[in-house]
Structure 1
């Protein structure tokens, strides 16, 4: 079984710094409304919890040059 590492720190209300073994990311937004995540690997994700068992997510990955 591989070992994993993941840690999340709250910097300010509504802003989180997420660190794992390969990258880091910043997430802004709260429980209600959209959340925006910008990763060090170039991935940008927008997500939102909808009422009931639904959720919405849109992910864009920057092209490497």
Structure 2
């Protein structure tokens, strides 16, 4: 069983700093609206909770060819 590490800190209202074993990220947004997450690895995620057990998430990755 692998050991994992994840810690999240509230920096300001609606802003969180997330740290894990391989990278860090900043999440913007709180409440019922969308949340935007930007990772140190180049991943950008937008997510939103929908009514009931549903949710929406889209992820883009940085193009490393540039």
How many residues in Structure 1 have an aligned counterpart in Structure 2? Answer: 65
Return the offset for 1:2. 1.3
RMSD value, Cα: 0.7
Stretches of structure 1 that go unaligned for 5 or more consecutive residues are none
The aligned counterpart of 2:33 is: 33
Normalization by structure 1: what TM-score?
A: 0.95
What runs of 5+ residues in structure 2 fail to find an aligned partner? none
**What are the equivalent positions in structure 2 for 1:1-65 lying under 5 Å apart?**
1-65=1-65
Find runs of 4+ consecutive structure 1 residues off by over 6 angstroms. Answer: none
